[in-house]
Amino acid sequence: MVHAFIMVKTAAGKSEGLLAEIGDLESVADAHIVAGNYDIIAEVDASEVYEVLQTVSSSMQGLDGVTETRTYIAMG
């Protein structure tokens, strides 16, 4: 099992709507609006790293209002 944290920057005023959309994606276990350099942090669980990358590149980055993502794979 691969566990990853996805940091998401959003366009102004888009965080709340995107939180629900991101939370509904298949591999997303949890998502939170946060303060700091990013607007949303999503936790993704998948069986392979490829599935994490697929979720981010095909699903998350395609959502209207997502301006940047950063993926961190948990090592332990």
At 68, is the secondary structure helix, strand, or coil? strand
Cα–Cα distance for residue pair 63/3, rounded to 1 Å: 22
The per-residue pLDDT string of the chain (76 residues; one tens digit each, 9 = 90 and over) reads 999 999 999 999 999 999 999 999 999 999 999 999 999 999 999 999 999 999 999 999 999 999 999 999 999 8
For residue 45 the two structure tokens come to 């669980």
pLDDT for residue 41:
98
**CA-CA distances (angstroms) from residue 44 to 8, 53, 66?**
13, 10, 17
